[in-house]
Structure 1
Amino acid sequence: MAGKGGGTPAQQRGGPDLVQGIELAPLSPPANLTAELVRRLAAEIRAGRLNPGDRLPTEQALMRQAGVSRTVVREAVSALRAEGLVTTRQGVGAFVADPAARGQMRIDPAEMQSLADVLQVIELRIAIETEAAGLAAERRDPAALARIETAADAFTQAVEVGETAVAQDLEFHRAVFAATGNSFFPRFLEFLGPMLIPRQTVRPALEDGAARTAYLSRVREEHAQIAAAIAASQPVQARAAMRRHLTASRDRYARMARAAKDQ
């Protein structure tokens, strides 16, 4: 229940870093920094050291404690939000979610032990998201279309400054799902959790930086094609564009899997 000053009692107790009961040791490469930060923060939440309503430490505090960049922190918070462990408030911060409000069925990142697992998730996405794009083209309203186009633009801007654009990628797919007008489609994202965008949890050293940059440039163009088909109310073209997009992702990870076997 909110106190007189606004916010939950837990939110009123602390300052900018709020939760003083945890201290994260710096993360070190070659671990996947985003996945490791997600794992550590999720462990604090599940162990009860961060309680519902508590505010996560600020971006600056997490960057300092874990020794990571702002991009890693933002990607980790986005993944925790996708898992239903935190909620975010623009301009305020991230807060631990009420367990009763968390999705009960999600793919746990711990289940994803190999690139073969990632390929299976992408196959699932192809089946669901292809139809979602078609429905979005049939049903989108001006607000839904604006959200899709804003997400596509945000992805482009993130890629242009050299970011991995995980949060922006996730928002684009959320926007397409929301445009279907079917509330069960967004709930499907809760099932996938952070695995919707596998590059935040799987970053094998099988592909150099230039290849990743080229891949993200292709994703930007594929997003633009999906958004254009939805804007033009062309469900057949929207389905085809989404299928091409996800099939290209599947093929990328299949190449990585083959390279891993050859090593």
Structure 2
Amino acid sequence: MTDKDDVVFGAIQQVPNLRSGLADTLIAQIESGALKPGQRLPTEQAIVQATGVSRTIVREALATLRAKGLIATRQGLGAFVSSNPTPPAFTILPNDLESIDEVQRVLELRMGIEYEAAGLAALRRTPEDIERIQACLDALDQAIEEGGYGAQEDYAFHRAILVATHNPYYGRLFDTFGSSMVPRQWARLDRMTPAERRRHATRMRREHHAIFAAIRDGNEMAARRTIRSHLSKSAARFEEMREANLKP
């Protein structure tokens, strides 16, 4: 083991036994220059031995770095810090959302983005926008009534609102996050009783219809209020999960 390895391992020995923690630490090492462009990373086995995490977690962490363009794998040689890494870009990958804390941070981010977007959509929406949002709402209603998660339909509904701002950066930002903005693994419908699922469906339908009605009617303040209320209630439900010590 080299002195450089000792420096890197010293920074990652204390991270939680989670892929996200290991990935975040390695990313910080790369961004700070502790791991330099072209430098070979320690082997998977060396990281396992130094940190105590499983080989699976190490591989998932390295896969995250590859997805972000921060490292490249050379056949038979191992993983190296990219010599010309892609420009830093903010992304949220589905596997990033491993804890309730992380999901709630995403909800906080969404509140900031969608609160403003809903108000702009109410002011700028066109008949075509209203028709598009209505179609997404109908699809979401159907998915929930059929007992599904409705994650893709939910994503499409919220994205349609961003498109209605007629500021393309909103839609592009949501596309960067993808379906991670609505993590289906946290829906927990399979753990609900039939009565709980009915209440969930009713609540989801009521909240989304209120958002749509405010935007359709051009009510800027109501649009902001209903989208914030919807996301705040989602955050409150995750807080209840935390208190119940539930795991995905």
* Fold match by TM threshold 0.5: yes
- Find the partner of 1:141 among 102, 126, 138: 126
Distance in 1, matches of 2:130 and 2:202, equals 22
- Match of 2:245, SS state, is helix
Q: Which position in structure 1 is the counterpart of 2:163?
A: 178
Q: Where does 1:45-124 land on structure 2 (aligned, <5 Å)?
A: 105-124=90-109
- Match of 1:174, SS state, is helix
Q: Which position in structure 2 is the counterpart of 1:91?
A: none
1:201: how far off? Answer: 2.8
Q: Which position in structure 2 is the counterpart of 1:201?
A: 185
8 A Cα contact 2:152 2:179, kept in partner: no
- Match of 2:166, SS state, is coil
Cα deviation per residue 1:203-253 (whole Å; 9 max; x = unaligned)?
A: 559952443442232111111111111111000000001011111111111
Distance in 2, matches of 1:205 and 1:179, equals 30
Distance in 1, matches of 2:140 and 2:190, equals 24
Q: Which position in structure 2 is the counterpart of 1:225?
A: 210
1:172: how far off? Answer: 0.4
Q: Which position in structure 2 is the counterpart of 1:214?
A: 199
Q: How many residues align?
A: 163
Mapped pair 1:248 → 2:217: no
Distance verdict in 2 for CA 1:212–1:236, change over 3 Å: same
- Match of 1:201, SS state, is helix
Q: Which position in structure 2 is the counterpart of 1:161?
A: 146
Identity %: 36
1:112: how far off? Answer: 2.0
Question: Which amino acid is 1:239 matched to?
Answer: R
Question: Which amino acid is 1:184 matched to?
Answer: Y
Question: Which amino acid is 2:174 matched to?
Answer: L
Q: CA RMSD in A?
A: 2.7
8 A Cα contact 1:130 1:242, kept in partner: yes
Question: Which amino acid is 1:246 matched to?
Answer: L
Distance in 2, matches of 1:183 and 1:220, equals 27
8 A Cα contact 2:149 2:189, kept in partner: no
8 A Cα contact 1:207 1:256, kept in partner: no
- Match of 1:229, SS state, is helix
Question: Which amino acid is 1:256 matched to?
Answer: M
By percentage of residues, which structure has more helix?
Answer: 2
Show structure 1 runs of 5+ residues with no match.
1-38, 47-102
- Match of 1:260, SS state, is coil
Larger radius of gyration: 2
- Match of 1:167, SS state, is helix
8 A Cα contact 1:155 1:168, kept in partner: yes
Distance in 1, matches of 2:199 and 2:212, equals 20
Distance verdict in 2 for CA 1:151–1:204, change over 3 Å: closer
Distance in 2, matches of 1:123 and 1:202, equals 16
